[in-house]
Amino acid sequence: MMERVEHSRKKRVDHKKRKKWVLRISLFSLVAILIVGIYFVGTIWGALTKGHDSDQEKSKFRTQEVDINKDPFTVLFIGTDQFDTKAEAETYRTDVLMVAAVNPQKKTIKLVNIPRDTYAEIANTEGFKTKINSAAYWGKQKGINPIQNTRETVETLLYGVPIDYYVKINFKGFIDIVNAVGGIDVNVPMTFRISTFDRKVQFYKGPMHLSGEEALPYVRMRKEDPQGDHGRNKRQQEVINKILDKIVSFNSISNFSKITDAVGNNLSYSINPNEFLSLATIYKNTPKNKIETLTAKVEDKKVSGVWYSFMQESERKRISTTLKEVLGLPTTDNGEVDSENGSGENGQP
């Protein structure tokens, strides 16, 4: 009898000890998770906020700020022709200009590439016209923020389509981000070989997996493409979509610190970091068949020994009207914003 009582008592004591250890281990695990979580979030947040430009004001073609969670908005993607961030601060020209018009409610995205040699009226130069990729340079010459000058030049070219946000990345950032997501899979439209900076890269028609060092010449090549800028634009949009797919996917979480390092060092943007999650959700919820590419017809001509891409007026108006329809903005018959609805006046190159 005494043995049974002693055994029962011992079991109760052992059970209490086990409960204490389980509780201690649980508390320790919780604290460890919190510490790692705080470090992880802090690291990501620090990298994301490093490139945030909070000085950009709303477009002059907007009567009020847009709300990404409910309002249609635009993003101007700018790719610069620099590898070094310090050198870029001195002078740069845009290698890529792409406008995305996004309607979160209708789950629609329209993309348009603007060829870098597009002949356009440069903002704040009293009507001076030249290649649109020099807008940043002329902004610096006139004492105006280069991004703002590029933004205003694009708005004028597109007959008052407001540019709400921008994202700017240099060559180094592009390479780093592609590598951080583990490379991308593309469908190369033709076989070609291209010399780029310190190497020659061979591309074969069909599926290929590209590293960042390979993806950069892939999106920049145009002379070997029979479609010229049109083919180049299609490859750029393909690559951007592939990168976005990987960034918003669960599989990229393990590489997120690498991604944020690339972002922090080589990319700037006016989007509030608090809205990144909303942007990712909008992109994930937009069906692929509702992401449409608009192609502007341009005609390449040599003027005074310099090649320019001339966008037909009808094309400018067509693209302007299409983008404004996505944004829910009124237009007149000629594609310009209806100034009676509070969107301001247009300049015309």
User: pLDDT tens for residues 99-129?
Assistant: 999 999 999 999 998 988 999 999 999 999 9
Helix (H, G, I), strand (E, B) or coil at 252: helix
In this prediction, residues 304-327 reach a mean pLDDT of 93
For 245, other C-beta atoms within 10 Å of its C-beta total: 16
Between the alpha carbon of residue 239 and those of residues 183, 232, 267, 338, the distances in Å are 10, 11, 17, 35
Q: Specify the pLDDT at position 24.
A: 61
Look up residue 292 and give its DSSP letter.
E
How far is the C-alpha of 181 from the C-alpha of 259, rounded, in Å? 7
Mean pLDDT, rounded, for 26-36: 59
pLDDT band at 343 (very low <50, low <70, confident <90, very high): very low
Q: Average of pLDDT values for 29-42?
A: 55
- The answer to whether residues 246 and 266 touch, using CB atoms and an 8 Å cutoff, is no
Give the type of residue at 169: I
Does the pLDDT value for residue 260 go beyond 50?
yes
d(CA 151, CA 160): 11
Q: Per residue in 274-302, pLDDT tens?
A: 888 888 889 889 998 999 988 888 888 98
Q: What pLDDT was estimated at residue 4?
A: 53
3-state secondary structure of 345: coil
d(CA 88, CA 153): 20
The arithmetic mean of pLDDT across residues 188-199, rounded, is 83
pLDDT at 349 over 50: no
Pairing verdict, β 184-188 and 206-210: antiparallel
Q: Which residue has the tokens 């509780």?
A: 23
Three-class DSSP labels, 177-197: HHHHCCCEEEEECCCEEEEEC
pLDDT digits (tens, 9 = 90+) for 139-191: 999 999 999 999 999 999 999 999 999 999 888 888 988 998 889 999 999 99
Output the CA–CA distances (angstroms, integers) from residue 118 to 95, 99, 152, 297, 301, in the order listed: 12, 14, 15, 11, 10
**Amino acid letter at 260?**
T
Question: Per-residue pLDDT averaged across 227-245, rounded?
Answer: 84
Other Cβ atoms closer than 10 A to 185: 11
The answer to whether 186 and 210 have CB atoms below 8 angstroms apart is: yes
**Low-confidence winner among 27-41, 71-85, 245-259, 302-316 (lowest mean pLDDT):** 27-41
Nearby residues of 297 by Cβ (< 8 Å), 6 or more positions away = 311, 312, 315
pLDDT of residue 84: 64
CA 207 to each of CA 184, 190, 201, 243: distance values in angstroms, whole numbers, following the listed order = 10, 11, 15, 16
Share of the chain above pLDDT 90, in %: 39
CA distance 310 to 122: 14
**pLDDT attached to residue 41:** 52
Higher pLDDT, 70 or 55: 70
CA angle 189/194/200 to nearest 5° reads 125
pLDDT at 201 over 80: yes
Q: Given this model, what pLDDT does residue 335 score?
A: 44
Task: State whether CATH 3.40.630.190 applies to domain 73-341.
Answer: yes
Q: Does the structure show a pLDDT above 70 at 27?
A: no
- What is the predicted pLDDT for the residue at 339? 37
Can you give the pLDDT at residue 47? 60
